[in-house]
Every structure is written in C-alpha cells, then in structure tokens.
C-alpha cells in the first residue's frame, strides 16, 4: 500500500510540475532550458526531462492547439502548424519576406560548415555574400561566433537557436545528410 501511495504522490507532483512548467513556458514566451526549469522547480534535471517528454506527448494529441517544441535542450510553447492559418487571421503578419535563394544558400553553407568566415562562404558560393549574411543576422538565424585566428582575424559565423526553431530541428545533428558532388569532366 505504501508503494501505491508514493506512486500517487509522485503522479500528483508530476501533474503539479506540469502545470508550473506550462505557466513558465507561457509567461516566458522564450525557450527555457532543462537546467533553468530544474533550478526554478527545485527538482533534478532527469525528472524535468521525464516530465517534459510526458508533456510533449500530451500536447501532440490531435485535440490540442498548441505543442511544446524542443531544440538544443530548450523548450517553448508553440502553435501547432496545422492551426497556423487561423492564428494568422488573428495576428497581423509583420510583412517579413521569405528568404531569398542567396540567403538560403548562404545559410545552408553556414549550417554545414560552421563556424565559417565570410571569405570561406564567398569561395564556396563563387559570389559575394554580404547582403545574404546581413539578412540572416537581422533575422537572427545566424550570429557572430568569434574571430578566426588568422591574418585579419575575420569574423566566424554559426547558426542560432532561432535557426533550429525556424526549420523545426531539435539540434544540428538533425540536419539532413550533406551529399557532396564530385563532378568529373571528360576531356574533349
């Protein structure tokens, strides 16, 4: 009987923690890490992870309008993609334009080769990438990651958590496998 009461107590604690986590994620609006949640709740990171996994599963039910998204061991409440059109009717779009082909190409190079300098990006693309890099920085999809220890100490670029969120990845390991093409040309 003692085990049953302890399990019931744990269930009630988990339910209470779920409610607290839900409130924290809602109030924050920004992603919260397992470490932050653990510190606020005063419980271990493993317990927070277990509770978050349960919450993700519960929010994935068809009847729910929101979900918990995870990226880089951080969590955030989000509208389910299938309800996005309804939310757009409520919220006025901020007229953000989609990424240009040059920006997507530049972002892809940064994602797979990070950290990388602008000169290295330009060399891979074969054209200058100034405007694309500026756009990606403005949108928060990339950030400066320090300077390369070489002549001129050029800026290194890498992707951000916003990049992961934008493309729906939990971490960089979820990037699709990069296929490199080795083109051989026959001499004529």
Fold entry, domain 2-90: Arc Repressor Mutant, subunit A (1.10.10)
The answer to whether the bond into 115 is cis (omega within 30° of 0) is yes
pLDDT at site 188: 42
pLDDT over 80 (residue 149) = yes
Average of per-residue pLDDT across 129-147: 93
Please list the helix, strand and coil fractions of the chain in percent, rounded to the nearest 5, in that order: 55, 15, 30
pLDDT at site 52: 94
pLDDT over 70 (residue 97) = no
Residues near 124 by beta carbon (within 8 Å), at least 6 away in sequence: 109, 113
Place 8 in a pLDDT band, splitting at 50, 70 and 90: very low
What dotted CATH number matches 101-174? 1.10.10.10
* Residue ranges per structural domain of the chain: 2-90, 101-174
**Are the C-beta atoms of residues 98 and 107 closer than 8 Å to each other?**
no
Place 61 in a pLDDT band, splitting at 50, 70 and 90: confident
Q: Global pTM?
A: 0.61
pLDDT over 80 (residue 10) = no
Q: For residue 113, what are the CA distances in angstroms to 21, 110, 171, 176?
A: 36, 5, 15, 13
Beta-strand ranges (E) seen in 7-151 are: 32-33, 66-71, 74-79, 116-117, 142-147
3-state secondary structure of 69: strand
Place 76 in a pLDDT band, splitting at 50, 70 and 90: very high
């Amino acid at each position: 009987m003692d085990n049953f009461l302890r399990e019931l107590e744990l269930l009630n604690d988990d339910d209470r923690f779920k409610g607290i986590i839900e409130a924290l994620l809602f109030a924050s609006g920004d992603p919260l890490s397992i470490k932050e949640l653990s510190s606020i709740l005063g419980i271990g990171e493993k317990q927070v992870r277990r509770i978050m996994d349960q919450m993700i599963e519960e929010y994935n039910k068809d009847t729910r309008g929101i979900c918990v998204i995870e990226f880089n061991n951080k969590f955030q409440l989000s509208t389910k993609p299938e309800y996005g059109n309804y939310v757009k009717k409520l919220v006025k779009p901020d007229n953000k334009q989609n990424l240009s082909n040059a920006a997507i190409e530049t972002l892809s190079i940064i994602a797979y080769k990070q950290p990388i300098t602008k000169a290295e990006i330009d060399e891979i693309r074969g054209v200058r990438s100034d405007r694309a890099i500026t756009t990606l920085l403005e949108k928060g999809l990339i950030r400066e990651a320090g300077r390369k220890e070489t002549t001129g100490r050029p800026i290194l670029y890498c992707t951000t958590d916003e990049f992961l969120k934008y493309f729906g990845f939990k971490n960089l390991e979820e990037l699709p496998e990069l296929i490199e093409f080795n083109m051989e040309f026959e001499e004529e």
